[in-house]
Structure 1
Amino acid sequence: MLNGWILWHTVSMKTQPSVTLYKGYRFPSTIISHCVWLYFRFSLSFRDIEELMAERGVVLTYETVGQWCLKFGQTYTNELRRRRPRCGDKWHLDEVFLKINGKTHYLWRAVDQDGNILDILVQSRRNKRAAKKFFRKLLKGLQYVPRVIITDKLGSYAAAKREIMVSVEHRQHKGLNNRAERLHQPTRQRERTMRRFKSPEQAQRFLSAFGPILDHFRPKRYHLTAEDYRVLMQGRFLVWNEVTSGQTAA
Protein backbone atom coordinates (compact mmCIF):
# COMPACT_ATOMS: atom_id res chain seq x y z
CA MET A 1 0.00 0.00 0.00
CA LEU A 2 2.84 2.38 0.84
CA ASN A 3 4.57 1.94 -2.53
CA GLY A 4 1.31 2.39 -4.42
CA TRP A 5 0.45 5.59 -2.57
CA ILE A 6 3.94 7.02 -3.11
CA LEU A 7 3.74 6.23 -6.83
CA TRP A 8 0.34 7.92 -7.19
CA HIS A 9 1.41 11.00 -5.27
CA THR A 10 4.69 11.26 -7.20
CA VAL A 11 2.92 11.13 -10.56
CA SER A 12 0.44 13.79 -9.44
CA MET A 13 3.24 16.23 -8.58
CA LYS A 14 4.81 16.23 -12.07
CA THR A 15 7.99 17.72 -10.65
CA GLN A 16 11.38 16.40 -9.63
CA PRO A 17 12.33 16.74 -5.95
CA SER A 18 15.31 18.81 -4.97
CA VAL A 19 18.34 16.71 -4.03
CA THR A 20 19.65 19.17 -1.44
CA LEU A 21 16.39 20.15 0.28
CA TYR A 22 15.48 16.59 1.24
CA LYS A 23 18.94 15.07 1.39
CA GLY A 24 19.31 12.59 4.24
CA TYR A 25 15.58 12.05 4.77
CA ARG A 26 14.27 8.49 4.71
CA PHE A 27 10.83 9.46 3.38
CA PRO A 28 10.34 10.96 -0.11
CA SER A 29 9.46 14.61 -0.59
CA THR A 30 5.87 13.73 -1.53
CA ILE A 31 5.14 12.33 1.94
CA ILE A 32 6.97 15.13 3.76
CA SER A 33 5.19 17.90 1.86
CA HIS A 34 1.83 16.15 2.22
CA CYS A 35 2.18 16.00 6.02
CA VAL A 36 3.20 19.68 6.16
CA TRP A 37 0.21 20.58 3.99
CA LEU A 38 -2.18 18.65 6.23
CA TYR A 39 -0.87 20.35 9.35
CA PHE A 40 -1.02 23.94 8.13
CA ARG A 41 -4.12 23.59 5.95
CA PHE A 42 -6.41 21.78 8.41
CA SER A 43 -6.94 21.97 12.14
CA LEU A 44 -5.01 18.77 12.88
CA SER A 45 -2.48 17.78 15.51
CA PHE A 46 0.74 15.91 14.81
CA ARG A 47 -0.88 12.77 16.26
CA ASP A 48 -3.89 13.20 13.94
CA ILE A 49 -1.55 13.26 10.95
CA GLU A 50 0.34 10.23 12.25
CA GLU A 51 -2.96 8.34 12.30
CA LEU A 52 -4.05 9.55 8.85
CA MET A 53 -0.75 8.46 7.34
CA ALA A 54 -0.91 5.09 9.12
CA GLU A 55 -4.28 4.45 7.46
CA ARG A 56 -2.49 4.86 4.12
CA GLY A 57 0.25 2.47 5.15
CA VAL A 58 2.87 5.11 5.97
CA VAL A 59 4.36 4.36 9.39
CA LEU A 60 5.94 7.38 11.08
CA THR A 61 5.79 9.13 14.45
CA TYR A 62 4.12 12.38 15.40
CA GLU A 63 7.54 13.71 16.46
CA THR A 64 8.73 13.21 12.89
CA VAL A 65 5.75 15.18 11.56
CA GLY A 66 6.57 17.99 13.99
CA GLN A 67 10.19 18.11 12.85
CA TRP A 68 9.10 18.29 9.21
CA CYS A 69 6.68 21.13 9.89
CA LEU A 70 9.34 23.01 11.84
CA LYS A 71 11.98 22.62 9.12
CA PHE A 72 9.94 22.92 5.93
CA GLY A 73 6.95 25.07 6.90
CA GLN A 74 8.76 28.40 6.64
CA THR A 75 10.76 27.24 3.60
CA TYR A 76 7.56 26.50 1.68
CA THR A 77 6.03 29.76 2.88
CA ASN A 78 8.96 31.82 1.62
CA GLU A 79 8.65 30.26 -1.82
CA LEU A 80 4.89 30.88 -1.90
CA ARG A 81 5.52 34.53 -1.09
CA ARG A 82 8.03 34.81 -3.94
CA ARG A 83 5.50 33.43 -6.41
CA ARG A 84 2.46 35.48 -5.46
CA PRO A 85 1.68 38.70 -7.34
CA ARG A 86 2.14 42.05 -5.67
CA CYS A 87 -0.47 42.62 -2.99
CA GLY A 88 -2.83 45.60 -2.79
CA ASP A 89 -2.01 49.17 -1.77
CA LYS A 90 -4.64 49.39 0.99
CA TRP A 91 -3.46 47.76 4.20
CA HIS A 92 -5.75 46.74 7.07
CA LEU A 93 -3.89 46.39 10.38
CA ASP A 94 -5.17 44.92 13.61
CA GLU A 95 -3.90 43.25 16.75
CA VAL A 96 -5.38 40.55 18.97
CA PHE A 97 -4.22 39.30 22.36
CA LEU A 98 -2.70 35.86 22.94
CA LYS A 99 -2.27 34.25 26.35
CA ILE A 100 1.14 32.54 26.44
CA ASN A 101 2.26 30.95 29.72
CA GLY A 102 -0.16 33.16 31.61
CA LYS A 103 1.17 36.39 30.08
CA THR A 104 -0.60 38.58 27.56
CA HIS A 105 1.03 39.00 24.16
CA TYR A 106 -0.31 40.59 21.00
CA LEU A 107 -0.52 39.23 17.49
CA TRP A 108 -0.15 42.08 14.99
CA ARG A 109 -1.60 41.26 11.58
CA ALA A 110 -1.78 43.10 8.26
CA VAL A 111 -3.90 42.19 5.22
CA ASP A 112 -4.61 44.00 1.96
CA GLN A 113 -8.01 45.03 0.57
CA ASP A 114 -8.48 41.57 -0.99
CA GLY A 115 -7.87 39.75 2.29
CA ASN A 116 -4.37 38.54 1.41
CA ILE A 117 -2.24 38.15 4.54
CA LEU A 118 0.77 40.49 4.33
CA ASP A 119 2.62 39.66 7.56
CA ILE A 120 2.24 38.95 11.27
CA LEU A 121 4.30 39.73 14.35
CA VAL A 122 3.93 38.48 17.94
CA GLN A 123 4.97 41.08 20.55
CA SER A 124 4.53 41.60 24.27
CA ARG A 125 3.33 45.22 23.90
CA ARG A 126 1.03 47.25 21.70
CA ASN A 127 2.59 50.66 22.24
CA LYS A 128 4.24 53.03 19.77
CA ARG A 129 7.51 51.12 19.78
CA ALA A 130 5.73 47.85 18.96
CA ALA A 131 3.76 49.52 16.14
CA LYS A 132 6.96 50.96 14.64
CA LYS A 133 8.61 47.55 14.73
CA PHE A 134 5.64 46.04 12.91
CA PHE A 135 5.61 48.81 10.29
CA ARG A 136 9.32 48.29 9.60
CA LYS A 137 8.82 44.54 9.24
CA LEU A 138 6.00 45.10 6.76
CA LEU A 139 7.93 47.61 4.66
CA LYS A 140 11.06 45.47 4.60
CA GLY A 141 9.20 42.34 3.56
CA LEU A 142 6.90 43.91 0.95
CA GLN A 143 9.34 46.57 -0.33
CA TYR A 144 6.67 49.10 -1.23
CA VAL A 145 4.65 51.78 0.57
CA PRO A 146 0.84 51.51 0.71
CA ARG A 147 -1.54 54.17 -0.49
CA VAL A 148 -3.64 54.00 2.69
CA ILE A 149 -3.64 52.10 5.98
CA ILE A 150 -6.79 51.32 7.94
CA THR A 151 -6.65 50.62 11.67
CA ASP A 152 -8.81 50.76 14.76
CA LYS A 153 -8.49 53.72 17.12
CA LEU A 154 -5.41 52.47 18.99
CA GLY A 155 -3.18 55.54 19.35
CA SER A 156 0.03 53.57 18.75
CA TYR A 157 -0.76 53.27 15.04
CA ALA A 158 -1.05 57.00 14.51
CA ALA A 159 2.08 57.76 16.54
CA ALA A 160 4.16 55.20 14.63
CA LYS A 161 2.72 56.20 11.26
CA ARG A 162 3.79 59.82 11.74
CA GLU A 163 7.42 58.66 11.94
CA ILE A 164 7.54 55.66 9.59
CA MET A 165 4.98 56.36 6.82
CA VAL A 166 4.48 60.10 6.81
CA SER A 167 2.93 60.39 3.34
CA VAL A 168 0.47 57.50 3.73
CA GLU A 169 -3.22 58.23 4.31
CA HIS A 170 -4.44 56.85 7.64
CA ARG A 171 -8.06 55.98 8.36
CA GLN A 172 -8.95 55.06 11.94
CA HIS A 173 -12.36 53.48 12.38
CA LYS A 174 -13.27 50.19 14.01
CA GLY A 175 -16.03 49.44 11.52
CA LEU A 176 -13.68 49.77 8.54
CA ASN A 177 -11.31 47.13 9.84
CA ASN A 178 -13.53 44.04 9.79
CA ARG A 179 -11.44 42.50 7.01
CA ALA A 180 -8.44 42.15 9.33
CA GLU A 181 -10.48 41.21 12.40
CA ARG A 182 -12.20 38.28 10.67
CA LEU A 183 -8.84 36.69 9.91
CA HIS A 184 -8.16 36.22 13.62
CA GLN A 185 -10.75 33.41 13.67
CA PRO A 186 -8.54 30.67 12.13
CA THR A 187 -5.80 31.62 14.60
CA ARG A 188 -8.17 31.16 17.53
CA GLN A 189 -9.24 27.79 16.18
CA ARG A 190 -5.66 26.56 15.87
CA GLU A 191 -4.81 27.99 19.28
CA ARG A 192 -7.50 25.74 20.79
CA THR A 193 -6.31 22.71 18.82
CA MET A 194 -2.73 23.26 20.01
CA ARG A 195 -3.94 23.91 23.58
CA ARG A 196 -2.43 27.38 23.50
CA PHE A 197 0.94 28.46 22.26
CA LYS A 198 3.89 27.50 24.43
CA SER A 199 6.10 30.55 23.83
CA PRO A 200 6.15 33.79 21.77
CA GLU A 201 8.84 32.25 19.53
CA GLN A 202 6.73 29.15 18.88
CA ALA A 203 3.66 31.29 18.13
CA GLN A 204 5.64 33.50 15.72
CA ARG A 205 7.19 30.50 13.99
CA PHE A 206 3.89 28.65 13.56
CA LEU A 207 1.76 31.64 12.53
CA SER A 208 4.35 32.91 10.03
CA ALA A 209 3.87 29.70 8.05
CA PHE A 210 0.24 29.01 8.92
CA GLY A 211 -1.15 32.27 7.53
CA PRO A 212 0.34 32.21 4.00
CA ILE A 213 -0.20 28.47 3.48
CA LEU A 214 -3.82 28.65 4.64
CA ASP A 215 -4.31 31.77 2.53
CA HIS A 216 -2.92 30.00 -0.54
CA PHE A 217 -5.47 27.18 -0.30
CA ARG A 218 -8.47 29.28 0.74
CA PRO A 219 -9.28 31.68 -2.11
CA LYS A 220 -12.29 33.97 -1.79
CA ARG A 221 -14.73 31.35 -2.99
CA TYR A 222 -17.84 33.53 -2.80
CA HIS A 223 -16.47 35.54 -5.75
CA LEU A 224 -16.08 32.45 -7.96
CA THR A 225 -18.24 30.02 -9.89
CA ALA A 226 -17.72 26.33 -9.15
CA GLU A 227 -15.81 25.87 -12.43
CA ASP A 228 -13.58 28.90 -11.82
CA TYR A 229 -12.89 27.68 -8.28
CA ARG A 230 -11.76 24.26 -9.51
CA VAL A 231 -9.48 25.80 -12.12
CA LEU A 232 -8.00 28.20 -9.57
CA MET A 233 -7.38 25.43 -7.04
CA GLN A 234 -5.74 23.27 -9.68
CA GLY A 235 -3.32 26.11 -10.39
CA ARG A 236 -2.60 26.59 -6.70
CA PHE A 237 -1.84 22.91 -6.22
CA LEU A 238 0.57 23.10 -9.15
CA VAL A 239 2.33 26.02 -7.47
CA TRP A 240 2.46 24.06 -4.22
CA ASN A 241 4.00 21.09 -6.03
CA GLU A 242 6.67 23.34 -7.53
CA VAL A 243 7.39 24.88 -4.13
CA THR A 244 7.64 21.56 -2.30
CA SER A 245 9.78 20.00 -5.02
CA GLY A 246 12.53 22.44 -4.01
CA GLN A 247 12.53 24.37 -7.28
CA THR A 248 13.23 28.09 -6.93
CA ALA A 249 11.18 30.78 -8.59
CA ALA A 250 12.56 32.25 -11.80
Structure 2
Amino acid sequence: MISFKGSHYPNDVILYAVFFYVRYAVSYRDLEEILADRGVHVDHATLNRWVVKYASQIASEAQKRKTRTGRSWRMDETYIKVKGQWMYLYRALDKQGQTLDFMLSETRDEAAATRFFRQTIVNNGWPDKVVIDKSGANKAGLDNKNIELILHGWYWLIEVLQVKYLNNLIEQDHRFIKKITRPMKGFKSVEAATATLAGIETAHMIRKGQLGTTKLSAFQQFAALAG
Protein backbone atom coordinates (compact mmCIF):
# COMPACT_ATOMS: atom_id res chain seq x y z
CA MET A 1 0.00 0.00 0.00
CA ILE A 2 1.29 3.45 -0.92
CA SER A 3 1.59 5.88 1.99
CA PHE A 4 0.15 9.39 1.67
CA LYS A 5 1.29 10.36 5.16
CA GLY A 6 1.90 14.07 5.54
CA SER A 7 -0.22 15.11 2.58
CA HIS A 8 -2.58 18.06 2.99
CA TYR A 9 -4.94 16.81 0.27
CA PRO A 10 -7.26 13.78 0.13
CA ASN A 11 -5.71 10.69 -1.42
CA ASP A 12 -8.23 10.56 -4.27
CA VAL A 13 -7.41 14.15 -5.25
CA ILE A 14 -3.70 13.32 -5.44
CA LEU A 15 -4.33 10.14 -7.42
CA TYR A 16 -6.70 11.90 -9.80
CA ALA A 17 -4.12 14.62 -10.48
CA VAL A 18 -1.32 12.10 -11.08
CA PHE A 19 -3.54 9.96 -13.32
CA PHE A 20 -4.77 12.92 -15.36
CA TYR A 21 -1.21 14.12 -15.96
CA VAL A 22 0.17 10.76 -17.10
CA ARG A 23 -2.88 9.82 -19.15
CA TYR A 24 -3.60 13.02 -21.07
CA ALA A 25 -1.43 15.46 -23.01
CA VAL A 26 -1.42 18.36 -20.55
CA SER A 27 1.20 20.54 -18.90
CA TYR A 28 1.34 21.08 -15.15
CA ARG A 29 -0.06 24.59 -15.58
CA ASP A 30 -2.94 23.18 -17.67
CA LEU A 31 -3.66 20.66 -14.93
CA GLU A 32 -3.51 23.40 -12.29
CA GLU A 33 -6.29 25.24 -14.16
CA ILE A 34 -8.34 22.08 -14.70
CA LEU A 35 -8.27 21.26 -10.99
CA ALA A 36 -9.07 24.86 -10.03
CA ASP A 37 -12.19 24.67 -12.21
CA ARG A 38 -13.21 21.68 -10.06
CA GLY A 39 -12.63 23.55 -6.81
CA VAL A 40 -9.19 22.09 -6.05
CA HIS A 41 -6.51 24.76 -5.69
CA VAL A 42 -3.01 23.36 -5.95
CA ASP A 43 0.02 24.90 -7.65
CA HIS A 44 1.89 23.28 -10.51
CA ALA A 45 5.04 22.70 -8.41
CA THR A 46 3.05 20.57 -5.98
CA LEU A 47 1.56 18.62 -8.87
CA ASN A 48 5.08 17.91 -10.09
CA ARG A 49 6.09 16.62 -6.65
CA TRP A 50 3.05 14.32 -6.57
CA VAL A 51 3.91 12.77 -9.92
CA VAL A 52 7.57 12.28 -9.02
CA LYS A 53 6.69 10.79 -5.62
CA TYR A 54 3.80 8.48 -6.53
CA ALA A 55 3.94 7.53 -10.21
CA SER A 56 6.86 5.11 -9.89
CA GLN A 57 5.31 3.41 -6.87
CA ILE A 58 2.05 2.90 -8.74
CA ALA A 59 3.96 1.57 -11.76
CA SER A 60 5.71 -0.99 -9.57
CA GLU A 61 2.34 -2.28 -8.40
CA ALA A 62 1.11 -2.43 -11.99
CA GLN A 63 4.07 -4.67 -12.92
CA LYS A 64 3.10 -7.07 -10.12
CA ARG A 65 -0.60 -7.17 -11.01
CA LYS A 66 -0.62 -7.09 -14.81
CA THR A 67 -2.07 -10.04 -16.71
CA ARG A 68 0.19 -12.74 -18.10
CA THR A 69 2.22 -11.67 -21.12
CA GLY A 70 3.45 -13.67 -24.11
CA ARG A 71 6.91 -15.13 -24.77
CA SER A 72 7.39 -13.63 -28.24
CA TRP A 73 8.73 -10.12 -27.70
CA ARG A 74 9.22 -6.92 -29.68
CA MET A 75 11.91 -4.55 -28.37
CA ASP A 76 12.90 -1.04 -29.49
CA GLU A 77 13.97 2.36 -28.16
CA THR A 78 12.60 5.86 -28.57
CA TYR A 79 14.04 9.26 -27.62
CA ILE A 80 13.12 11.42 -24.62
CA LYS A 81 14.66 14.82 -23.87
CA VAL A 82 15.95 15.27 -20.31
CA LYS A 83 17.82 18.41 -19.17
CA GLY A 84 18.11 19.44 -22.80
CA GLN A 85 19.78 16.17 -23.82
CA TRP A 86 18.29 13.17 -25.62
CA MET A 87 18.02 9.99 -23.58
CA TYR A 88 16.78 6.56 -24.59
CA LEU A 89 13.54 4.94 -23.49
CA TYR A 90 13.90 1.19 -23.89
CA ARG A 91 10.53 -0.54 -24.33
CA ALA A 92 9.32 -4.08 -24.95
CA LEU A 93 5.92 -5.53 -25.92
CA ASP A 94 4.74 -9.05 -26.57
CA LYS A 95 3.38 -9.94 -30.01
CA GLN A 96 -0.16 -9.06 -28.85
CA GLY A 97 0.96 -5.51 -28.08
CA GLN A 98 0.92 -5.93 -24.29
CA THR A 99 3.52 -3.86 -22.46
CA LEU A 100 6.30 -5.94 -20.92
CA ASP A 101 8.69 -3.36 -19.52
CA PHE A 102 10.45 -0.02 -20.04
CA MET A 103 13.66 1.64 -18.89
CA LEU A 104 15.14 5.12 -19.29
CA SER A 105 18.86 5.16 -20.06
CA GLU A 106 21.45 7.84 -20.73
CA THR A 107 23.25 5.47 -23.10
CA ARG A 108 22.31 3.19 -25.98
CA ASP A 109 24.93 0.48 -25.80
CA GLU A 110 25.51 -3.15 -24.90
CA ALA A 111 25.51 -2.51 -21.16
CA ALA A 112 22.18 -0.64 -21.29
CA ALA A 113 20.58 -3.29 -23.51
CA THR A 114 21.79 -6.09 -21.24
CA ARG A 115 20.44 -4.26 -18.19
CA PHE A 116 17.06 -3.77 -19.89
CA PHE A 117 16.74 -7.42 -20.93
CA ARG A 118 17.72 -8.52 -17.42
CA GLN A 119 15.01 -6.30 -15.90
CA THR A 120 12.39 -7.42 -18.41
CA ILE A 121 13.14 -11.09 -17.81
CA VAL A 122 12.93 -10.65 -14.04
CA ASN A 123 9.48 -9.07 -14.41
CA ASN A 124 8.10 -11.32 -17.15
CA GLY A 125 10.09 -14.55 -17.35
CA TRP A 126 12.31 -15.72 -20.20
CA PRO A 127 11.15 -15.17 -23.80
CA ASP A 128 11.24 -17.75 -26.58
CA LYS A 129 11.89 -15.13 -29.25
CA VAL A 130 12.82 -11.43 -29.37
CA VAL A 131 12.43 -9.23 -32.46
CA ILE A 132 14.77 -6.23 -32.59
CA ASP A 133 16.03 -3.78 -35.19
CA LYS A 134 19.51 -3.86 -36.68
CA SER A 135 21.09 -2.46 -33.51
CA GLY A 136 24.32 -4.27 -32.69
CA ALA A 137 24.02 -3.20 -29.05
CA ASN A 138 20.61 -4.85 -28.64
CA LYS A 139 21.87 -8.01 -30.34
CA ALA A 140 24.86 -8.06 -27.98
CA GLY A 141 22.53 -7.64 -24.99
CA LEU A 142 20.54 -10.70 -26.03
CA ASP A 143 23.71 -12.63 -26.77
CA ASN A 144 24.76 -11.96 -23.17
CA LYS A 145 21.52 -13.45 -21.88
CA ASN A 146 21.97 -16.50 -24.12
CA ILE A 147 25.48 -16.94 -22.75
CA GLU A 148 23.96 -16.99 -19.26
CA LEU A 149 21.61 -19.79 -20.37
CA ILE A 150 24.52 -21.79 -21.77
CA LEU A 151 26.56 -21.34 -18.58
CA HIS A 152 23.61 -22.58 -16.53
CA GLY A 153 23.27 -25.69 -18.68
CA TRP A 154 20.03 -24.84 -20.47
CA TYR A 155 19.29 -26.68 -23.71
CA TRP A 156 17.44 -23.87 -25.45
CA LEU A 157 18.35 -20.30 -26.34
CA ILE A 158 16.39 -17.14 -27.06
CA GLU A 159 15.71 -16.84 -30.79
CA VAL A 160 16.83 -13.40 -31.99
CA LEU A 161 15.29 -11.92 -35.13
CA GLN A 162 16.59 -8.67 -36.58
CA VAL A 163 13.74 -7.87 -38.95
CA LYS A 164 12.66 -4.22 -39.02
CA TYR A 165 9.12 -4.65 -40.42
CA LEU A 166 8.25 -7.11 -37.62
CA ASN A 167 8.87 -4.28 -35.16
CA ASN A 168 6.12 -2.06 -36.59
CA LEU A 169 3.93 -2.97 -33.61
CA ILE A 170 6.20 -1.40 -31.02
CA GLU A 171 7.14 1.53 -33.26
CA GLN A 172 3.43 2.37 -33.49
CA ASP A 173 3.08 1.93 -29.74
CA HIS A 174 5.77 4.55 -29.14
CA ARG A 175 3.35 7.14 -30.56
CA PHE A 176 1.14 7.07 -27.47
CA ILE A 177 4.11 7.78 -25.21
CA LYS A 178 5.35 10.59 -27.47
CA LYS A 179 1.86 12.11 -27.64
CA ILE A 180 1.66 12.40 -23.86
CA THR A 181 5.22 13.68 -23.38
CA ARG A 182 5.09 16.29 -26.16
CA PRO A 183 3.35 19.05 -24.09
CA MET A 184 5.87 18.45 -21.30
CA LYS A 185 8.64 19.84 -23.56
CA GLY A 186 11.35 17.76 -21.94
CA PHE A 187 12.15 16.92 -18.33
CA LYS A 188 14.33 18.85 -15.89
CA SER A 189 15.76 15.80 -14.14
CA VAL A 190 16.28 12.09 -14.68
CA GLU A 191 14.26 11.38 -11.52
CA ALA A 192 11.26 13.33 -12.83
CA ALA A 193 11.54 11.73 -16.27
CA THR A 194 11.77 8.21 -14.86
CA ALA A 195 8.77 8.65 -12.56
CA THR A 196 6.61 10.39 -15.15
CA LEU A 197 7.36 7.85 -17.86
CA ALA A 198 6.55 5.03 -15.44
CA GLY A 199 3.17 6.65 -14.82
CA ILE A 200 2.54 7.13 -18.54
CA GLU A 201 3.39 3.50 -19.26
CA THR A 202 1.06 2.39 -16.46
CA ALA A 203 -1.83 4.45 -17.83
CA HIS A 204 -1.10 2.94 -21.25
CA MET A 205 -1.20 -0.57 -19.77
CA ILE A 206 -4.58 0.18 -18.23
CA ARG A 207 -5.79 1.48 -21.59
CA LYS A 208 -4.77 -1.86 -23.13
CA GLY A 209 -6.69 -3.81 -20.47
CA GLN A 210 -3.59 -5.34 -18.94
CA LEU A 211 -4.80 -5.16 -15.34
CA GLY A 212 -7.78 -7.39 -16.08
CA THR A 213 -10.29 -5.26 -14.14
CA THR A 214 -12.30 -3.89 -17.05
CA LYS A 215 -15.43 -3.36 -14.92
CA LEU A 216 -13.66 -0.44 -13.31
CA SER A 217 -12.96 2.87 -15.01
CA ALA A 218 -9.38 3.66 -16.02
CA PHE A 219 -8.99 6.00 -13.05
CA GLN A 220 -10.44 3.43 -10.63
CA GLN A 221 -7.91 0.87 -11.88
CA PHE A 222 -5.10 3.37 -11.44
CA ALA A 223 -6.25 4.33 -7.94
CA ALA A 224 -6.64 0.67 -6.95
CA LEU A 225 -2.89 0.21 -7.52
CA ALA A 226 -2.25 2.60 -4.64
CA GLY A 227 -4.39 0.56 -2.25
The TM-score with structure 2 as length reference comes to 0.84
Contact 1:191 1:197 in 2 (8 A): no
Matches within 5 A, 1:1-250: 21-142=3-124, 144-166=125-147, 167-219=157-209, 232=214, 234=216, 237-244=219-226, 246=227
State the distance in 2 between where 1:235 and 1:114 align: 22
Deviates more, 1:20-29 or 1:106-115: 20-29
**Cα 1:193–1:31, aligned 2, differ >3 Å: closer, same or farther?**
same
State the distance in 2 between where 1:202 and 1:237 align: 22
Letter in 2 for 1:168: I
May I ask how many residue pairs the two structures share in their alignment?
216
Q: Deviations over 1:185-210 (max 9, x none)?
A: 12322332111233444322321221
State the distance in 1 between where 2:50 and 2:190 align: 20
Q: In terms of Rg, which structure is larger?
A: 1
State the distance in 2 between where 1:77 and 1:125 align: 23
Q: Deviations over 1:109-146 (max 9, x none)?
A: 1111121222222223322222112111212233x101
Letter in 1 for 2:101: D
State the distance in 1 between where 2:74 and 2:90 align: 11
Measured after TM superposition, the shift of residue 237 of structure 1 is 4.8
Measured after TM superposition, the shift of residue 99 of structure 1 is 4.0
- What CA RMSD, in Å, does the superposition of the two structures yield over aligned residues? 2.3
Any unmatched runs of 5+ in structure 1? Answer: 1-17, 221-230
**Cα 1:208–1:241, aligned 2, differ >3 Å: closer, same or farther?**
closer
Contact 2:25 2:181 in 1 (8 A): no
State the distance in 1 between where 2:77 and 2:214 align: 31
Any unmatched runs of 5+ in structure 2? Answer: 148-156
State the distance in 2 between where 1:99 and 1:93 align: 20
Aligned to 1:183, the other structure's residue is in SS state: helix
Measured after TM superposition, the shift of residue 84 of structure 1 is 1.4
Letter in 2 for 1:71: K
Aligned to 1:64, the other structure's residue is in SS state: helix
Aligned to 2:8, the other structure's residue is in SS state: coil
State the distance in 2 between where 1:188 and 1:236 align: 20
**Cα 1:188–1:106, aligned 2, differ >3 Å: closer, same or farther?**
same
The TM-score with structure 1 as length reference comes to 0.77
Aligned to 1:60, the other structure's residue is in SS state: coil
State the distance in 1 between where 2:14 and 2:182 align: 25
The structure, 1 or 2, with the larger RCO (C-alpha pairs under 8 Å, 6+ apart) is 2
Contact 1:91 1:110 in 2 (8 A): yes
**Cα 1:242–1:196, aligned 2, differ >3 Å: closer, same or farther?**
closer
